[in-house]
Structure 1
Amino acid sequence: MSQVVGQSLAHESATLHVSGAAQYIDDLPELAGTLHAAFGLSTIAHGRITKLDLAPVLRAPGVAAVLTAKDIPGLNDCGPIIHDDPILADGLVLFYGQPIFVVLAETHEAARRAARKAVIEYEALPALLDIAEAVAAESWVLPPVTMTRNDAQAALAAAPHRLQGTARHGGQEHFYLEGQIAYARPGEQDTMHVFSSTQHPTEMQHAVAHMLHWTSHQVSVECRRMGGGFGGKESQSAQIACAAALGAWKTGRPVKLRLDRDDDMTLTGKRHDFAFDWDVGFDDSGRILGLAVTMASRCGFSADLSGPVNDRALCHIDNCYYLDAVTVKSLRCRTNTVSNTAFRGFGGPQGMFAIEYIIDDIARELGLDPLDVRFRNLYDPMPMNSPLAPAGRGAGGEGGMHDDTLSPAPSPAGGRGERNTTPYGAKVEDNVAPALIDELARTSDYAARRAAIAAFNASSPVIKRGLALTPLKFGISFNATLYNQAGSVVHVYADGTVLVSHGGTEMGQGLYTKIRQVVAHELGLPASAVRLAATDTSRVPNTSATAASSGADLNGKAAQAAALKIKTRLAAFFATQHGLSADAVSFADGEVRGGSHSMSFADLAIAAYRARLQLWDSGFYSTPKIHWNKDAMQGRPFFYYAYGAACAEVAIDTLTGESKVLRVDILHDVGKSLNPALDIGQIEGGFIQGMGWLTTEELWFRPSGAQRGRNMTHAPSTYKIPAASDVPPVFNVKLFDNANVEDTIHKSKAVGEPPLMLAFAVFFALRDACSAAIGKPAPLQAPATAEAVLRAIGGLDA
């Protein structure tokens, strides 16, 4: 049988992408009478609207209508969880750039020009812009949450060493290639079809229905593909879909709303920036004995997804490390800035950043290699005699590393058998981190390069180099258990071709390609015989967001279940025809075989159709084993963990603060890969995006003056994402030889989010270089821009 699953097949839309033939929403043919929409935005961070004169807008050329909150017949809200996020501001402005009205005009340009003609006056109110201001004012979008295990204060008091510290990292703009867009087409009998660039079609369906005071069966939402999402189109696309649908309902004409890039970056949420304060106790080897952390995040003016984002940050404060006595307090700060939202990693990177900084501080305090300290704090490895351990290697326990100095420190009782429970009460049963780190440390020549870099720095007064190897453990599943479900419908046509519908969305990550491979494998067909239909709430209802890295896990299993039902039915039909047992029937290479009999799948399909056999079916999947008590912050929120590690070497110029990544080695765990080419692409892309977050991408809101609170980094001219020239000249990426211990689709593991956290290696290599420059631990903060590097080495006033 030709193997389809596990092969590096090209992305199913690759040819369309490179030829320009892939249709995104802005490429769809516009119906006659289509209007174009644009938002009118606030020019104050916080205030009451005292005058709103829209007459000049209505008089502008090409304008058909101007709509405000008063035109909304139902719920003026697009918040995904809490109803605190108005579609259009109604009298009260809560951040600079908040939509107040929407203009409908004959062209996109006419709508944008007209939106600027409004006359708006405000009564200014006090505005909180950053984390420090919000904490001082005790301003929260949600109440603080604390996660505790054992007595951290007692452990801190008894620890041989104790250290306090702080760290900060910035937010991040999603910078998807395709901006936010929706195209709403009104239908007969009060119905609406919305084409939305969204990761969550069902949420868009609900938001539009609630806004119009309709029911769900009156609204359908479709998404064939997105030009990138990264979490920014999970909840934030609702405002755009609702505004377009409102215009279509009000005028009876199709309405397209496509945000200009500046408007997109102004009015849509970002990654949450965090501030951390900690107190850590540890022993002579660097093993953590007690830890108390306060993490505060800038959530913006509304809750959006800040609750689950911060909860996931709490659940990833441990990363790969066992924390026996720990208390973590999470502050969810309300500020008069745009409401921050989901972003690749969904809080996980923020939590991991804190513990990695703490580990780095401990190592520098004790004068130890940070990798040594990291390894000594790891969770228990998977038992070496476990049948689930990676093939061909031990689990990397005591003596498992290439260097005895990197062996895990024993527990006080002399063993490490109980060091496998997370602070939230879940058992880490699949830990391959020690083996993975061991392999990467050897293959990247970490020890030799560490010595070579020390020698280089001793003789180089201006250029300093740094090296770091950091691991990751990332939980896979939605924290909100109800979203861990998916549905699919598989159609087999009488000519033997297959059409698949499912609830996942394609944003370039290759989900459709992987589902195509799964169904083709199940039915014994070449991938070319299977096509994916656009994701549409009228085909598969009650979908979950394509997020939490779970798209292939959930939808792959659902599609497999549907295909298996059809396959079982066809096998029984074939067996009956030839007097065989159904168990003797096989599907491979486009053929169906049993005993001495065989026929093409296409011939079997037409025969089954003529025999009035059902050739379509649905499939459903819900993730097993998971449970979560949000109030107690305890449970098993994740089905399994994905692991990885990266080793990065960097150089800094101590005169200018400029930095360059010289080499990166990555070893990442995707289980049994469904498509290695796609997975490696995701690893490379995720790493570079994470590197941008930690090095060059800096958000800046004007702190004072007439435009206080305005996002000044609202365009490519003022916001620097990584370019092709920033890719390391030596960039080695390898998949770890492993299989998922859990019953995932073909024993694969999720790959969307975890690789972003591999970029910690770059940040801590930069900190290593900065510390070499000044001969002591450098207080480098993220993003490590040239200015931040100079501040860290004392070359620029803070």
Structure 2
Amino acid sequence: MGKSASENTPPVGAAGQVIAHESAAKHVSGEAVYIDDMMAPQGTLHAYVGLSSVAHGVVSSMSLAAVRNAPGVVDVITRDDVPGIIDIGPVFPGDPLMVGLGDTVEFHGQVLFAVAATSYAEARRAARLAKIEYTQLPACLSIEDGLAAKNFVRPAHYQRRGDARSALPKAPHRLQGELQIGGQEQMYLEGQASLCIPEEDGGMLVYSSTQNPTEGQKLVAEVLGVDLHQVTVDTRRMGGAFGGKETNANQWACIAAILARRTGRAVKLRLARADDMRATGKRHHFLSRYDVGFDDKGQIEALDLMLAGGCGMSPDLSDAIVDRAMFHSDNAYFLPEVEIAGHRVKTHTVSNTAFRGFGGPQGMVAIEDIIDAIARDRGLDPLDVRKHNLYTAKGNRNTTHYGQLLEQEVLPLLIERLEKTSDYRARRKSICAFNASNQVLRRGLALTPVKFGISFTVQHLNQAGALIHVYTDGSIQLNHGGTEMGQGLYTKVAQVVAEELQVDIEHIRCTATRTDKVPNTSPTAASSGSDINGMAALAAARKIRRRLTNFACEHFAVSQEAIQFSRNCITVGDRKFSFADFVNLAYHQRISLSATGFYRTPKIHYDRETATGRPFYYFANGAAVSEVLVDTLTGEYRVERVDICHDVGKSLNPAIDIGQIEGGFIQGMGWLTSEELAWDDSGRLATVGPATYKIPAIGDTPPIFNVELLPDSPNAEATIFRSKAVGEPPLMLAISVWSAISDAVASLADYRVHPKLDTPATPERVLMACEALRQGST
């Protein structure tokens, strides 16, 4: 008996379909509720913090009398008022909750005390009344100074294959160089914010704008000196995060929780933008130094590479971030003889932290700079040099320098496709002709690839849990350990459940991420949110489907083959039930309609002693072609066209994936072009708002912006419905913009000199690079 058309119709919003983000309408209408929008309990206090005004020094006196006596002030706390632990370092110690009298300040903007008052304005005004004196100490503010002084937050790590130092002198050609890679402010729309509400028996309910509710729960409990089960962290959504709320959200939740415990009243803490930027970590800036040997075609034969990450005053996540930079310092290229050194440099600046890509972008920029330098030295099109160096199974050139085999070869075909669809060769010829006839305006073109490893490099974080309740009316409540920061995770995971249970997505509600529903969760980071939480939700949904199937077999005395799940229906033999009617029937027969699911990523491992292993479950791939126009007399430029082909496997939601690619690209473009962090000589951050820190605006979006998802490319690994991660990899596609600017500048020397162009490539730096080439300097 054939199926009707309605039975063949998939559920609305099932995996693979284009549907809107679950909060899209609320985002644009203003109805979406963030921490500062919540209806706080009556009598809620507002907290603010006092920040240090030196980069390095001992607190010699701290007078807070004026703060305590200020209008509206209810409580003031210092380090000595913390009932539990003081150090809230997420992995290694070094991050004090507050710095007290006699302690050493390690950066300009470090928290000294906190005040709670009856209004936000009163708390902020009161915090400015403190009188603090310091015995100043010498401050180390640059990577070079930190390297020279051998100041490190963690030991160096090394990855080696072969003997690069012996191979280098044997190479036909050899180059040395260095590159400064700038940092980046996360610039999330919603700043750091927490609301803590004391509960009976010493409990604490924490609403936090955090990517990592479990870590927030753990640290709030330890700061209060209570067990973890007394603290619940709730995160419905964040107004952006980008890594800046993976560890940095914890401090504000802990401070608000202490004040809430002391006063017995709810306490909200929200930082103003300038203080948020001063007191929270950014993307690590890096220094790259290289010595590379290569043949006539530009194929790399040996590489000695040093990567030094500017970590700031504490370890935070720097060990893993510099590791990931090292893992990605090959990008898409086989390095036969290589030595990579990764240094974690301490400076007296805010401790740098996670940011989209987590060190990977810095490693990729370093190798792409080397590829461009080789191309200029050989007088070759950089694309040809890139293609000569690509990983390939031919000749066994498909194993990374840390020993991971590339099991799915995607990039050669992807690049070939993009080269054709973007008309790269004809445009290259046209641009060369344009540049030959223009003294001032120069065009640049670049095609750069991305190979990005997917998994947490800290193995135990590669796990996730989920909880599903099916109610007797057929509606479904879904909860999992991932957090929603605008990237569409809640939507994608709901689509997974809709697919498995064959119900329309309108019947599924994804509730706030809470530590009392799914415990011991990993942060939503490393592009793994959909991978691990989707698989955990699928496991829970399959449990429920299996129970319903087994119930149908027993209750109706039929085989499993006679049972079919179709759109909002369950068919048992020749009887058809709506999903709601069937689960109601199951309930009356005492069948459990609630299930948990768990997932842990298989196959991954890494041995730091040997610097070998498989740290990534798989690789996400993509490539971008960018074209720019540069005014060589001012250094100003614009991006005129971008073409992207990106591999997301079998997409869970093509619309959301394309949105992530577009947004990630623009954010990466900002990092590499306009977003310049600047500190003055005292160590004070000078770029503390949009007036001085320039993120891309809509006018910076390329007028021609073509994005394609690579067709027919399911993940070779058994990921959620064979999809691939899309959160972080697109950011690195923007390296093509920086490389295109360098290409335009190189035309001033007939493409035979590689410009010195540190990132971000601001107009000032572009102008200096142009002048250096005009004057014959390298």
User: What TM-score do the two structures reach when normalised by structure 2?
Assistant: 0.97
Quote how far apart the aligned CAs of 1:350 are.
0.6
Correspondence for 1:779: 756
Report the 3-state secondary structure (helix = DSSP H, G, I; strand = E; otherwise coil) of the residue aligned with 1:471. Answer: strand
**Distance (whole Å) between structure 1 residues aligned to residue 185 and residue 749 of structure 2:** 32
Do structure 1's residue 136 and structure 2's residue 148 form an aligned pair? Answer: yes
Correspondence for 1:478: 456
Correspondence for 2:166: 154
**Distance (whole Å) between structure 2 residues aligned to residue 769 and residue 78 of structure 1:** 47
Do structure 1's residue 546 and structure 2's residue 539 form an aligned pair? Answer: no
**Distance (whole Å) between structure 1 residues aligned to residue 611 and residue 274 of structure 2:** 39
Correspondence for 2:703: 729
Quote how far apart the aligned CAs of 1:75 are.
0.6
Correspondence for 2:51: 41
Quote how far apart the aligned CAs of 1:584 are.
2.9
Quote how far apart the aligned CAs of 1:431 are.
2.0
**Distance (whole Å) between structure 2 residues aligned to residue 584 and residue 558 of structure 1:** 27
- Aligned AA for 1:339? S
Q: Which moves more between the two structures, 556-565 or 772-781?
A: 772-781
Do structure 1's residue 172 and structure 2's residue 184 form an aligned pair? Answer: yes
Correspondence for 1:739: 714
**Distance (whole Å) between structure 2 residues aligned to residue 683 and residue 262 of structure 1:** 29
**Distance (whole Å) between structure 2 residues aligned to residue 489 and residue 584 of structure 1:** 28
- Aligned AA for 2:689? A
**Distance (whole Å) between structure 2 residues aligned to residue 517 and residue 636 of structure 1:** 30
- Aligned AA for 1:480? V
Q: Is the 8 A contact 2:372 2:754 kept in 1?
A: no
**Distance (whole Å) between structure 2 residues aligned to residue 771 and residue 427 of structure 1:** 36
Correspondence for 1:408: none
Kindly report which structure 2 residues correspond to 1:262-273, keeping only aligned pairs within 5 A, or say none.
262-273=274-285
Correspondence for 2:211: 199
**Distance (whole Å) between structure 2 residues aligned to residue 259 and residue 213 of structure 1:** 25
Quote how far apart the aligned CAs of 1:145 are.
1.1
- Aligned AA for 2:10? S
Correspondence for 1:384: none
Correspondence for 1:389: none
User: What TM-score do the two structures reach when normalised by structure 1?
Assistant: 0.94
Correspondence for 2:641: 663
Kindly report which structure 2 residues correspond to 1:498-647, keeping only aligned pairs within 5 A, or say none.
498-647=476-625
- Aligned AA for 2:699? S
Q: Is the 8 A contact 2:292 2:302 kept in 1?
A: yes
Quote how far apart the aligned CAs of 1:30 are.
1.1
Q: Is the 8 A contact 1:739 1:747 kept in 2?
A: yes
Q: Is the 8 A contact 2:58 2:135 kept in 1?
A: yes
- Aligned AA for 1:209? A
Correspondence for 1:403: none
- Aligned AA for 1:296? A
Kindly report which structure 2 residues correspond to 1:243-392, keeping only aligned pairs within 5 A, or say none.
243-380=255-392
- Aligned AA for 1:430? Q
Q: Which moves more between the two structures, 221-230 or 588-597?
A: 588-597
**Distance (whole Å) between structure 2 residues aligned to residue 130 and residue 451 of structure 1:** 42
Q: Which moves more between the two structures, 328-337 or 626-635?
A: 626-635
Quote how far apart the aligned CAs of 1:726 are.
0.3
Correspondence for 2:3: none
1:70 pairs with one of 76, 80, 85: 80
Report the 3-state secondary structure (helix = DSSP H, G, I; strand = E; otherwise coil) of the residue aligned with 1:244. Answer: helix
Q: Which moves more between the two structures, 56-65 or 673-682?
A: 56-65
Report the 3-state secondary structure (helix = DSSP H, G, I; strand = E; otherwise coil) of the residue aligned with 1:794. Answer: helix
Correspondence for 1:402: none
Deviations 1:587-619 (A, max 9, x none): 111000133221100000110111111000000
Deviations 1:659-704 (A, max 9, x none): 100000000000000000000000000000000000000000102x
Report the 3-state secondary structure (helix = DSSP H, G, I; strand = E; otherwise coil) of the residue aligned with 2:396. Answer: coil
**Distance (whole Å) between structure 2 residues aligned to residue 376 and residue 588 of structure 1:** 50
Correspondence for 2:691: 717
**Distance (whole Å) between structure 2 residues aligned to residue 350 and residue 133 of structure 1:** 20
Report the 3-state secondary structure (helix = DSSP H, G, I; strand = E; otherwise coil) of the residue aligned with 2:201. Answer: coil
Correspondence for 1:391: none
**Distance (whole Å) between structure 1 residues aligned to residue 611 and residue 516 of structure 2:** 36
Deviations 1:34-70 (A, max 9, x none): 1101110000000001110000111111111110000
Correspondence for 1:445: 423
Q: Is the 8 A contact 1:269 1:340 kept in 2?
A: yes
Quote how far apart the aligned CAs of 1:29 are.
0.4
Task: Give RMSD over aligned pairs.
Answer: 1.1
Quote how far apart the aligned CAs of 1:240 are.
0.8
**Distance (whole Å) between structure 2 residues aligned to residue 639 and residue 500 of structure 1:** 26
**Distance (whole Å) between structure 1 residues aligned to residue 474 and residue 742 of structure 2:** 58
Quote how far apart the aligned CAs of 1:362 are.
0.4
Do structure 1's residue 56 and structure 2's residue 66 form an aligned pair? Answer: yes
**Distance (whole Å) between structure 2 residues aligned to residue 716 and residue 642 of structure 1:** 32
**Distance (whole Å) between structure 2 residues aligned to residue 156 and residue 591 of structure 1:** 67
**Distance (whole Å) between structure 1 residues aligned to residue 382 and residue 21 of structure 2:** 39
Quote how far apart the aligned CAs of 1:246 are.
1.0
Deviations 1:407-441 (A, max 9, x none): xxxxxxxxx33111111111011120000000000
Q: Is the 8 A contact 1:578 1:597 kept in 2?
A: no
Unmatched segments (≥5 aa) in structure 2: 1-8
Do structure 1's residue 220 and structure 2's residue 232 form an aligned pair? Answer: yes
Correspondence for 1:405: none
**Distance (whole Å) between structure 1 residues aligned to residue 755 and residue 637 of structure 2:** 15
2:739 pairs with one of 750, 757, 764: 764
Kindly report which structure 2 residues correspond to 1:652-691, keeping only aligned pairs within 5 A, or say none.
652-691=630-669
Q: Is the 8 A contact 1:774 1:793 kept in 2?
A: no
Quote how far apart the aligned CAs of 1:124 are.
0.2
Q: Is the 8 A contact 1:574 1:604 kept in 2?
A: no
**Distance (whole Å) between structure 2 residues aligned to residue 331 and residue 493 of structure 1:** 54
Report the 3-state secondary structure (helix = DSSP H, G, I; strand = E; otherwise coil) of the residue aligned with 1:312. Answer: helix
Aligned length in residues: 760
- Aligned AA for 2:561? D
**Distance (whole Å) between structure 1 residues aligned to residue 57 and residue 595 of structure 2:** 54
Report the 3-state secondary structure (helix = DSSP H, G, I; strand = E; otherwise coil) of the residue aligned with 2:761. Answer: coil
Quote how far apart the aligned CAs of 1:578 are.
2.6
**Distance (whole Å) between structure 2 residues aligned to residue 424 and residue 258 of structure 1:** 43
Correspondence for 2:109: 97
Q: Is the 8 A contact 1:131 1:275 kept in 2?
A: yes
**Distance (whole Å) between structure 1 residues aligned to residue 406 and residue 252 of structure 2:** 41
**Distance (whole Å) between structure 2 residues aligned to residue 508 and residue 588 of structure 1:** 31
Quote how far apart the aligned CAs of 1:574 are.
1.9
Q: Is the 8 A contact 1:490 1:618 kept in 2?
A: yes
**Distance (whole Å) between structure 1 residues aligned to residue 263 and residue 698 of structure 2:** 45
Report the 3-state secondary structure (helix = DSSP H, G, I; strand = E; otherwise coil) of the residue aligned with 2:135. Answer: strand
Unmatched segments (≥5 aa) in structure 1: 382-415
Quote how far apart the aligned CAs of 1:577 are.
2.9
- Aligned AA for 2:517? R
Quote how far apart the aligned CAs of 1:17 are.
1.1
- Aligned AA for 1:601? F
Quote how far apart the aligned CAs of 1:31 are.
0.5
**Distance (whole Å) between structure 2 residues aligned to residue 322 and residue 595 of structure 1:** 57
Q: Quick one: percent identity of the two aligned structures?
A: 55
Quote how far apart the aligned CAs of 1:18 are.
1.4
Correspondence for 2:15: 5
Correspondence for 1:789: 766
**Distance (whole Å) between structure 1 residues aligned to residue 513 and residue 251 of structure 2:** 20
**Distance (whole Å) between structure 2 residues aligned to residue 361 and residue 777 of structure 1:** 5
**Distance (whole Å) between structure 2 residues aligned to residue 207 and residue 563 of structure 1:** 32
- Aligned AA for 2:336? D
- Aligned AA for 1:354? A
Report the 3-state secondary structure (helix = DSSP H, G, I; strand = E; otherwise coil) of the residue aligned with 1:650. Answer: strand
**Distance (whole Å) between structure 2 residues aligned to residue 713 and residue 582 of structure 1:** 64
